Amino acid sequence: MHLVGKILILVLAIAAAIGFITGARLVNARGAWMKQLQDAKAGEEKTAKSLADARQAFEEARGDLEREMLRWNHYYSPVKGTFDATNNALLANAGKTTGIQPNTEMYVFQLENNGASSYVGSFNVAQVEANESGLKATFPVRAEDVPNWSGQNFRLRAGIPSSFVSQITDLQAKLVTHDELLKKQERNLATQAELATTARDQRDTRIAELLGGKDIQTGLVTQINQADDERNASLRRVDDLRRKISEAEARVKSLIQENSGLATSLPGQVPRQQAEAVLPRK
């Protein structure tokens, strides 16, 4: 075979090998791209379904929010206010220009710095000016809560859900009952403290009577000890006297016996009975 033909055959073989390898790679690449395309379509369908579910959840949440807002009615916020403890009234920097009307009931919430709010109570709009209003408290005001309501920001609501109204009413009734119970307990504690003080004074007086102190110089214990000492001294003196009397009687008897012996030993002695008669008797 001619040399050129051999070279062409070699070139064709090499080209065929390269084409075979390149075709295999193209087939693999096409399979990978097809798989990515299928995965992308599946992800898109899943995303579309999630987006539809999210839109539906959003619409439902917005509907719930709108219905809930209808239950809470409109509000005025933020309103700067100062509480007057003398009249149990909230002086608010909002009035007719903001839509507040006289003789209406407002539910007041105190705004916290962190964005939260706490319920204060229900108020009746007693007086309204252009930019000011006076709201009278319709609930028992506790003195310890008043300092927390001065110079604060409030939210005034024209209405709140009825379930909350009944719940708040029950809680306020319980709070009044607990306040009365607390006052009763404080009175009982004051009475017990007074009784304890009286008992302590009586105890100190009794101790002073026993041991001495305060206005008593000598206590009963000291007096009893002194009386015991005096009695013991008297008993010792009586015992000494008894001993001396016993000794004197013994000496008298000894003298009688001695005199009797001397009398009998003398001539012309006096009888013993006469000698004893002339001696002093005990």
Question: Do the beta carbons of residue 136 and residue 89 sit within 8 Å?
Answer: yes
Q: φ, ψ for residue 101 (rounded to 5)?
A: -115, 150
Residues in contact with 133: Cβ distance below 8 Å, sequence separation at least 6, in sequence order: 91, 92, 94, 95, 100, 125, 127
Q: Is residue 122 part of a domain?
A: yes
One domain for residues 142 and 81 = yes
**Number of neighbours of residue 246 by Cβ within 10 angstroms:** 10
Return mean pLDDT, the chain: 80
Question: Do the beta carbons of residue 146 and residue 85 sit within 8 Å?
Answer: yes
One domain for residues 234 and 279 = yes
Q: What is the pLDDT of residue 168?
A: 83
One domain for residues 81 and 55 = no
Here the tokens at position 261 are 């012996």
One domain for residues 32 and 86 = no
Domain final residue, candidates 27, 55, 71: 71
Q: Is pLDDT of 280 > 60?
A: no
Q: What is the pLDDT of residue 134?
A: 92
Q: What is the pLDDT of residue 276?
A: 53
Question: Do the beta carbons of residue 242 and residue 235 sit within 8 Å?
Answer: no
**Domain of residue 239, residue span:** 218-282
Domain final residue, candidates 140, 160, 180: 160
One domain for residues 50 and 82 = no
One domain for residues 84 and 64 = no
Q: Is residue 173 part of a domain?
A: no
Residues in contact with 205: Cβ distance below 8 Å, sequence separation at least 6, in sequence order: 214
The mean pLDDT value for 249-275 works out to: 71
Domain final residue, candidates 31, 47, 71: 71
Q: Is residue 120 part of a domain?
A: yes
Report which listed range, 9-18, 32-41, 183-192, is most confident: 183-192
Q: Is residue 204 part of a domain?
A: no
Local confidence band at 189 (pLDDT 50, 70, 90 cut-offs): very high
Question: Do the beta carbons of residue 116 and residue 163 sit within 8 Å?
Answer: no
One domain for residues 107 and 138 = yes
Q: Is residue 187 part of a domain?
A: no
One domain for residues 39 and 13 = yes
The total number of structural domains that make up the chain: 3
One domain for residues 234 and 274 = yes
- For residue range 58-80, list pLDDT tens digits in order: 888 877 777 766 667 788 888 88
